[in-house]
Amino acid sequence: MRPAAERFAGHRQALAAKVLAAGVKHHKTLEAIATVPRHAFLDAGMHPQAYEDTALPIGHSQTISKPSVVARMIEILHKPRHKLGKVLEIGTGCGYQAAVLSLLAEEVYSIERIRPLHDLARAKLRPFRINNLRLIYGDGILGLPQAAPFDAIILAAAGLGIPDALLDQLAIGGRLVAPVAKNEKEQQLIMVERMSSQRYERTVLDEVFFVPLQSGLV
Ligand code: SAH
């Protein structure tokens, strides 16, 4: 990835420090947070807030996720002493998390269901010339069978459960991390590890707040 404008270098380091303070320990993930210029994924009006550890609006009633939550989810995807191989992201949004993942994984596929956001992410990501990232306009609930199986799957939007297609497309030994709605107000981060073709182990983690996972294309 091309270095960001130097005037933001200190901001990126400071954001990584906030993510560390929020409890994320995985060194390479912290390094990636310190590398990706988050302001480049936001409108100019949002630049003053770009390096705060908060979610921010990106249009179409969607948000760029909170950096410490992005980092926490990516940390969870990493099995001890394993590099990330092929990763599927559901919910590209403006492309920030996809850019972070591209620094940590061999290959990244990212799906977005809102056409203008898919186009926005493409435009925001173009200057970085990331060659291990593919953006797909589609319904992530269906996954991406043509590129499966995935070593890791990450959902940036909360459904009522985890879509079956995504569980099917997870490689054996792979991990999936997703926010899942408990009711209208509460969501939990869930990690699923595929132990064999039929056996999945589920771990309930933190309370979180994400935009909803919706079906169909816009
Ligand atoms: N990854 C983003 C977060 C974007 S917010 C980041 O870097 O901050 C979550 C995104 O999920 C929204 O853009 C929303 O449109 C998208 N989304 C919701 N349901 C989806 C689905 N079924 N398929 C693909 N994208 C979906």
Residues 31-60: pLDDT tens digits?
999 999 999 999 999 999 999 999 999 999
Read off the pLDDT of each residue in 11-18 and give the average, rounded to a whole number.
97
CB 114 within 8 A of CB 218: yes
Residue 142, domain extent:
55-208
Q: In the numeric block, which tokens belong to residue 53?
A: 């550890």
Q: In the numeric block, which tokens belong to residue 67?
A: 């950096």
Hey, which residues does 150 pair with through a beta bridge? 170
Distance CA 36, CA 97 (A): 9
When the pLDDT of each residue in the chain is averaged and rounded to a whole number, the result is 96
24 within a domain of the structure (yes/no): no
32 within a domain of the structure (yes/no): no
The residue whose C-alpha atom lies closest to atom 8 belonging to ligand 1 is 64
1 within a domain of the structure (yes/no): no
Q: In the block, which residue shows the tokens 């132990």?
A: 195
What pTM does this model have?
A: 0.96
* Percent helix / strand / coil, the chain, rounded to 5: 35, 30, 35
What is the Å distance from ligand 1's center to 95 Cα? 10
Taking CA atoms, 31 is separated from 28, 70, 109, 178, in Å, by: 5, 13, 21, 23
Q: What is the CATH number of the domain that holds 180?
A: 3.40.50.150
Read off the pLDDT of each residue in 16-29 and give the average, rounded to a whole number.
97
143 within a domain of the structure (yes/no): yes
Read off the pLDDT of each residue in 66-89 and give the average, rounded to a whole number.
95
Paired sense of beta strands 84-90 and 105-112, if any:
parallel
Q: Is the pLDDT of residue 4 over 80?
A: no
- For the stretch 158-215, pLDDT in tens is 999 999 999 999 999 999 999 999 998 999 999 999 999 999 999 999 999 999 999 9
Band of the pLDDT at 2, cuts 50, 70, 90? low
CB-defined site of ligand 1, < 6 Å: 62-65, 90-93, 96-97, 111-114, 117, 139-141, 156-157, 211, 213-215
25 within a domain of the structure (yes/no): no
What is the Å distance from ligand 1's center to 161 Cα? 16
Give the residue numbers annotated as catalytic, written as ranges.
Answer: 65
10 within a domain of the structure (yes/no): no
Total structural domains within the chain: 1
118 within a domain of the structure (yes/no): yes
